[in-house]
Each structure stands twice: as C-alpha cells, then as structure tokens.
Amino acid sequence: MKMTRQLLLLTSLALVIEFAGLTGKADAAYLESTDPMRVKQTYLDMIHMNEAWAAAVDSKSSLVVAVVDTGVDLKHPDLAGHLVEGVNLTQPGQKPYDDNGHGTNVAGVIAAVRNNDIGIAGMAPNTKIMPIKALESDGTGGEAKLGEGIRYAVDHGAKIVVLSLGLNKYSDYLAETVQYAEQHGVLLVAAAGNEGTSVKYPAAYPTVVGVGGATADKHADYRSNYGPELDIVAPWEVYTTALGGGYQYQDGTSMAAPQVAAAAALIWAKYPGLAPYQVRNLLEQTAEDLDADGWDPSTGNGLLRVDRALTVPYQEDRFEPNNTIDQAAKLSVHAVTHATLSSAQDQDWYAIDAPYSGTVQLTLRMEDAGAGIRVRKDAGTTWTTNGSDASGPITIPVSKGRTYVQLQTVDRSRQTALSYSLRTDFQIYRDPYEDNNKQYKAFVIPPRSQVIRGTFHEENDLDWFMIPLEHSGTLRLKLSTDTARIDPAILFQKEGEKSTLIDQSGDGATEVSSQMELLPGQYYIRVSNVKDYTEPITGEYTLEVEYSPKLIDPNEPNDKSYQATYAGLFSDYEGVFHKDDDVDWFEFRLNKDSLAELDFSNIPAARSLTATLYDSGHNELGSYKNESGSSSFHIEKTLSQGNYFVKLQTDKAFNNQMYRLNIGGYPIISGYIDIDGHWAQDAIVQMTDKQIISGYGNYRFAPDRPITRAEAAAVLARALKLNKQEELHFRDVDPSHWAYGEIAKMVMADLVDGYPDGTFGPDKTLTRMEMTQLIARSLNMTGKRRGNSPFTDVKESYWGVGILKQMFAEGWITGYPDGTFHPEEHATRAEFVTMLAKVLNR
C-alpha cells in the first residue's frame, strides 16, 4: 500500500522546540493570563481569545474532547491534569503514550492548563482530553483504526472528536462511522490537509467540520487544501506543547483543527442544549469573512472568531435575508445546512457554485412530516419533496459556475414556520467518451498528438481508449489530475500482447510513460484510479498523447538526379528526410513555354527547406527556401518548353511529418497565363500584339474581370490613335491618375462624358449597354428608331434601344443564343476587347 493511501498527519513543519525552564514570563500588562509563553501564541489574538475567555462560562462539568492521533505525552506538566483515560489501538494494552509528538501538539492547543504560571494557555481551560492512539510513530495508519478510534470516543463519553489527520480515499466504513457519531450527539472536527488540493477525508464528509488554514494576514494559506467541503479556517501556525514537557512552533491544518474543536467546547459549555449541527452552524455563522463575501472554497465560511461564537445569538436560519435571487446565500455543493421558511410567503434563495458541470442532489428533511417544499432551479424547472421523504432526493443538472435554487412551502396557506435541513451532494459530469469502461468498448482516438480530459463519474469507472497506428513511430503518455482523490494509473497494451501498467507515483501525482517505439497496429490505453478508490470523483484527469509517426518516403530512392521522381503537373508529392544529408530529386516537363509555379507546404516547425531549380543540362536556374518559422513557400518562374529538375534539401532531418510539393505549369500566350483556350484568346492576342491592351503585370490578363471606365477609355484611345487632349476638370481624376492622358483624349474626341456631379467614375465598371454605346460613338453611330428591338430582354422604352438596333443591324453585336442581350450586366475585359477587335478589323 502506498503511503499516500494511508492516514497521514496534517502538520506542515515542526520548528524549534523550547522547554519551560528556558523561557521567562511575558509582560503581564500585555497578557491576560499568567502563562509565560502566552506571548508566543499570537494566533489566539487573531481569533480574539481574550474576549472569548471573558465571555466563556466556568463550567463545573468538564467536557471531553477526544484526540484521535499519535497519542499524548501523558506526563506533560501543562496537560497531565487535563487528561482522561484513553486507549492505544496500535499497541493494545499499552497506555496511549505519544511516540511522535503530533498528538501532544494538538492536545496543547485545546487544553493546556491556563494561568498555572508555566508554558502556554489552552483555549478551553475546563476541557478534558481523551488521548486515542490510532497512528503509528511515523504518523501513518489505516482507516480501520481511525474508525475504531472515533467509535471508542463516542462510546466512552467524548463530546467532540478532533482529527488532525486525513486520507484522500472515500470510505463507506468511515462514512457510516461519521454518521454514528452524529446520531450520538458527537461533533467531529477534522483538518482539511496541507497539499493545496482537494479536502481530505474525514474532513470532506458533510457533517464533519472541515478546517483549513489561514495566514497571519488573514488569507487562505496556499498550502491549505480547499474545495466545496471546506467549512471554516483557523490560524495556520501555533505555539503548543511538545514531547518531553517542552513547547514548539507547529503549523498546518493539523493545528487549525484543534482551535475549532476548542471553540466548539467553549460553545457547548455555555450552551449545553445545542445539537451538534447547531454548534457547527454557530461556528460558521460567526466566522469572519475573508477573501470573499459568504462561503467560498478557499476560506469556507471565514476565519474562526471564538469571541463572536460566545456572544452572538444563535440563528436557526443564518442565511436570512435571502428572499430574492439577488439576496441568494452561497451554498457549497457538498454541505449540510439548516434553515427555516417562516411562512408560505417566505422564500429561501441559494446560489450554488459548481466546480464542474454535473448534477447536485438535494436532500431535504423537515420537522413537520406532513409539510412539503417546492424547489425551483433558476426560476424555471420545479421539483417537490415532502417531510416523509417519500419522493426521495432531488437531482438538479448544473453547468460549471453558478446555479440558483429557490425553496418555498408547498402549502400556500401555511402561516407557521417550517424548519428544514438541506444536504447538497455533487456528482461530476459524464465525460464525452463514455460508455468506454470495457476494453471492447474502447473509444477510438485519431493517431496524432492530442489532449483528452475525462472524469470518473461513477463507481468503479474505467476509461478505455484505442489508437490505431498506420505508421511506425514513437508514443509517450502523460496522465495528470487536478485532485489528490485520484491516484492515476495507465495500462498500455498492443492488441494481443502483454500489457504494461504505469503507476509509479501517488495521489494527485502525474504518471509519465517512457518514449515507446511502436510498430503499426491497434493499441489500447486504460485510464483508471487505483483499485481501492472506487467512488465517483469530483475532479478531472488529463491524458496527453504525444505521437510522432515515422513516415516512409514513397519517392525513395531519389537521392540522385538520375533517380529523380517524375512529378506530373498539378499533383501532390510528399516526402520526408530521414537524415540530415538526405536529398530528394524531382523532374517535371513543360510542353509549352510556361510560367512554372512550385508550391512547398507542410514544412515542420524549426526546419529550413531549400529548393534548387535546374534545366535539363543541370544548369542552376535559382535557389529558394522558406523564411524562418514559415511552413511553406512559393516559386514562380517563366520557363521554356522542356524538362527541369528540382533538388530538395533540409537543414535538419524530419520523419514525423511529410512535406508537400505541387508543380504547376501555365502556358504563356502573349505574356499571359490565363487566356489559353479562352473564347476571346485570338482577340486578346491581336490587341496585345498591337500594344492596344495590356495585363496586370503578373502574367495575368483577367479576361472575365469587369472592365472599368478608365480601362475602356485607355484601350479605345490607343486603338483609335487619338493624339489631342484637353485639360480635365473631373474632381476624381487628377493628372497623377494612370489613365489621365487617355481619358483626356477621349473627352477631346467627344467620345466619353462625365457625370452631372462633376465626376468621371474611373473605377466604375461598364455595363454591356455602356460598352456598346462607347463603341457606337467611335463609329459615329447615333442609333435608329425604326424596327423592333432585336433582343427579348430590351423593351422599346429602354434608353439604349436605338443604338442596339443599329449595332445589331450592321452586325457588330449578336447577343446570347436565347435571344437576350443582358444590357445592364457588367461588360468583361474579354467582351470589350473582342468587340473592339471586330471594329478595328472591319
């Protein structure tokens, strides 16, 4: 059994030990007790003990607090008079003598004799300590001894049991023992733990007062465990009794818990009629808010204030006023509380902050068996329960974050108060990979690196995953958790082979596999909690899968130019570099003078890929590579018809990711790569050869792009060889405009006009009608009225119908095969050039 699965002491660090004979008395004006070391008990000032002592009752009957721990120094001069008979469960028949020191530390905080002119002052001076030794000398033990110790205390007259120890494992046996104590009127107080993670058991059980630690400046100590089960915090560091009659500084939640137990003893001495839950409520309702208003998972209900607990009247319903959603009282997802609905008109609103998505189970108990309470979530869905509990608990689905719950009596005419207890129990969500608790139900995950977050949402939950590997590679698994209640373990197995268990660490620790060299096949991964942690867990695990495939280069061998892989145009080719000096050669052919485009992509991070281009005679034509950090680069180069080679090299080998190469060849016609086979190819070539039109400077003519007014004016001015121009006065065309001269010539020739608002609109596109009119004006055509419209989509009322009639009659335009012309559609560059070529060739 791992040490972390045993009960452990919850003290952080023992400091210097001092003996009474070596320390002088403190200034009596500063202290209200005659104990010389009271000055070192600064934690008592944080919880206002002087004021509490002033308000305490000098009870004639000594209340018994059982310390279930490592025993107590039975001869310590500051404790000997405050002890009752206990028991040694680790060495039956022996006295419960402390062989570790921890139990003596705890006992001193509670019951060191006050005002005896030696040592320190215990918080509850009339309290008797029942020493119960349930832990070994090294501070470890099992849950069986813990449960036996609690039952012994209950059966032998203890009123309070303090448990400065804990374990991460939930236990049905301990849960039943805790319930046994509650049923017999005994209050349990336990330390939360010191690892900065989930609250330990038994502090995590709902009816146990779970105690965390606070720093001297009133904040939660970063080492103190936290979560929905935390009820209250007390000072982290104390000065207390030590073995051998001495004293020492000690810290941790082990030392915070006995402070709360002592406060409970003082409460019971003053108010002996209170039930355990009322003592617990009084401690919580009088605590001092720290980091947040109301309950919070880091400080619970706040810092222990013993003075308030002895002076502030007890409230059966400490949450009032909480009659509206805006006044909702904070409630933990794991708690037992008591409150009252004063009448049918009273409403109790609670705000429940769930640490994860899941469900919250509400268990209501009412003193009036005939009464009922209606529960409403977020003023929406409603449930009803009654005092006989016939309907059982209510299960409410919640999302991570805040949920509001409203309680109100079912009987809308009720005038008397209805007292109730409310227990909340949270269950985490079912992860999206379920149902995968058997190997044959394994959830299939893709063969790549990834992160999986899952939960153990039900009893004995196991999560199986299967990863199918098509390529050899390396695999590393890392399993971590956000709670110490999970002791994660990984089982790894190739289908049909022996499995490997990875479980080297303890509760809340991270498990990491070695880097495994794997062949293709199906591999199973089982994520689990250790076998004796069977209950559902409030927490998540994270499984990190790091997979690096060893890919096979399908083009090898291609290390020499004569081994070059032939690359067809516009096809993808992939490869890897198995060693630093690996070289990959490719060959491609262009059947026409072309613009070659070479695209390289999927280059791994921190790798440099160099591509060198050669002609068929192995003359170098250029060398190119990706920029630092870039996963791709692109090459464009005009090449004549023929064969070419590409040599690829990398600065560092990679075989877990394949680079990708795609070579394209675009025939160049009149300097363009986008007119080959186009219906207007001949007209574009003719106009380009005559230097009437040009492209966009990147080997593209864009024949199907709409033509602008400026482009049309420039082309037509060159085609008509216009020489004269006049100064333009358009406010959107100044002398710096690229088409200023051509537009000026067209205006001088009275072939184009501007708009009434004084603009020309050089970047506006021409419609097919405007294009036709412009060409018609260059031919001195004015249009004709007679005859019918030649196109089915042009009515006689259309403004340009005359021009269309004349241009159609004389054979300049034809329209579409269906008899339409689409006059208001954009005219393309190809359409304009074709019509212009027809005019020039007349």
Amino acid making up residue 279 = V
State the chain's maximal CA–CA distance in angstroms: 132
Tell which residue, 733, 730, 835, has the closest CA to residue 777: 835
Would you state the structure tokens that stand for residue 581, as one six-digit string? 């000096």
731-744 burial, b if ≥16 CB within 10 A, otherwise e? Answer: eebeeebebbbbbb
Vertex 750 angle, CA 748 and 753, to 5°: 100
Determine the 3-state secondary structure of 773 from DSSP: helix
Domain 3-311 has CATH 3.40.50.200: yes
The fraction of the chain above a pLDDT of 70, given in percent, is 95
**Residues forming beta bridges with residue 65, ordered by sequence position:** 129, 160
Torsion of CA 284, 289, 290, 295, to 10 degrees: 60
Angle formed by the axes of helices 829-840 and 681-689, to 10°?
70
The predicted structure's pLDDT at residue 25? 30
The predicted structure's pLDDT at residue 142? 87
CATH no. for 325-428: 2.60.120.380
Residue 698 has pLDDT above 60, yes or no: yes
Stretch 353-361: mean pLDDT: 95
Residue 14 has pLDDT above 70, yes or no: no
DSSP category for residue 731: T
Alpha carbons 289 and 258: distance in angstroms, whole number: 20
Question: Higher model confidence: residue 463 or residue 9?
Answer: 463
Give residue limits of the domains in the chain.
Answer: 3-311, 325-428, 439-549, 561-667, 681-840
The predicted structure's pLDDT at residue 33? 74
User: What sign for the dihedral angle of Cα 272, 274, 275, 279?
Assistant: negative
DSSP category for residue 489: E
Question: Which helix (H) or strand (E) element contains residue 257?
Answer: helix 253-270
Tell which residue, 314, 235, 231, 335, has the closest CA to residue 271: 314
The predicted structure's pLDDT at residue 240? 97
Alpha carbons 174 and 149: distance in angstroms, whole number: 11
The predicted structure's pLDDT at residue 490? 96
- When mean pLDDT is compared across 366-370, 376-380, 767-771, the lowest value belongs to 366-370
The predicted structure's pLDDT at residue 61? 67
Alpha carbons 29 and 283: distance in angstroms, whole number: 30
Residue 552 has pLDDT above 90, yes or no: no
Tell which residue, 276, 289, 456, has the closest CA to residue 356: 456
Shared fold status for 3-311 and 561-667: no
Would you state the structure tokens that stand for residue 226, as one six-digit string? 């936290």
The predicted structure's pLDDT at residue 22? 25
pTM of the complete model: 0.69
Mean pLDDT score of the chain, rounded to an integer? Answer: 91
Name the residue with tokens 């049923």: 183
Tell which residue, 740, 721, 720, 724, has the closest CA to residue 732: 740
Residue 20 has pLDDT above 60, yes or no: no
Question: Which helix (H) or strand (E) element contains residue 154?
Answer: helix 143-155
Alpha carbons 113 and 134: distance in angstroms, whole number: 25
- Per DSSP, the residues of 779-805 read TT-----SS--SSTT--TTSTTHHHHH
Q: Taking the chain, what is the end-to-end CA distance rounded to the nearest angstrom?
A: 102
Q: How many DSSP H helices and E strands does the chain contain? A: 14, 41
Over residues 401-430, the pLDDT tens digits come to: 999 999 999 988 888 999 999 999 999 999
Amino acid making up residue 203 = A
Domain 561-667 has CATH 3.40.1190.20: no
The predicted structure's pLDDT at residue 413? 85
Q: Label residue 7 by pLDDT band (50, 70, 90).
A: low
Would you state the structure tokens that stand for residue 371, as one six-digit string? 């009464």
Vertex 154 angle, CA 150 and 159, to 5°: 110
Scanning 329-401, the segments in alpha helix (DSSP H) are none
Judge whether 180 and 199 are in contact, CB under 8 Å.
no
Determine the 3-state secondary structure of 429 from DSSP: coil
Amino acid making up residue 566 = Y
The predicted structure's pLDDT at residue 723? 92
Residue 3 has pLDDT above 90, yes or no: no
- When mean pLDDT is compared across 29-43, 183-197, 814-828, the lowest value belongs to 29-43
Alpha carbons 222 and 695: distance in angstroms, whole number: 70
Torsion of CA 664, 669, 670, 675, to 10 degrees: -90
- Just list the catalytic residues: 69, 102, 254
Q: Label residue 179 by pLDDT band (50, 70, 90).
A: very high
The predicted structure's pLDDT at residue 736? 95
Tell which residue, 622, 631, 478, has the closest CA to residue 541: 478
Residue 60 has pLDDT above 70, yes or no: no
Alpha carbons 113 and 121: distance in angstroms, whole number: 6
Alpha carbons 257 and 98: distance in angstroms, whole number: 19
Amino acid making up residue 342 = S
Q: Identify the architecture of domain 439-549 in CATH.
A: Sandwich (2.60)
Alpha carbons 527 and 452: distance in angstroms, whole number: 11
**Residues forming beta bridges with residue 767, ordered by sequence position:** 826
The predicted structure's pLDDT at residue 9? 62
Alpha carbons 226 and 215: distance in angstroms, whole number: 14
Residue 821 has pLDDT above 80, yes or no: yes
Angle formed by the axes of helices 709-719 and 740-748, to 10°?
70
- In whole angstroms, how far apart are CA 163 and each of 166, 204, 622? 8, 12, 79
Vertex 191 angle, CA 185 and 194, to 5°: 170
Judge whether 15 and 243 are in contact, CB under 8 Å.
no
Scanning 11-134, the segments in alpha helix (DSSP H) are 42-46, 49-55, 102-111
Q: Which long-range contacts (CB under 8 A, 24 or more apart) does 428-431 make?
A: 428/356, 428/357, 428/358, 428/455, 428/457, 428/536, 428/537, 428/538, 428/539, 428/540, 429/356, 429/357, 429/358, 429/455, 429/457, 430/455, 430/457, 430/458, 431/455, 431/457, 431/463
Q: Residues, the chain, total? A: 842
The predicted structure's pLDDT at residue 6? 57
Alpha carbons 741 and 527: distance in angstroms, whole number: 77
Stretch 644-662: mean pLDDT: 94
Stretch 648-669: mean pLDDT: 94
The predicted structure's pLDDT at residue 97? 96
Residue 23 has pLDDT above 70, yes or no: no
Over residues 606-633, the pLDDT tens digits come to: 899 999 999 999 999 999 999 988 999 9
Tell which residue, 88, 240, 108, has the closest CA to residue 162: 108
Torsion of CA 836, 837, 841, 842, to 10 degrees: -40
Cβ count within 10 A of residue 435: 10
The predicted structure's pLDDT at residue 453? 97
253-262 burial, b if ≥16 CB within 10 A, otherwise e? Answer: bbbbbbbbbb
Alpha carbons 338 and 367: distance in angstroms, whole number: 11
Alpha carbons 104 and 14: distance in angstroms, whole number: 13
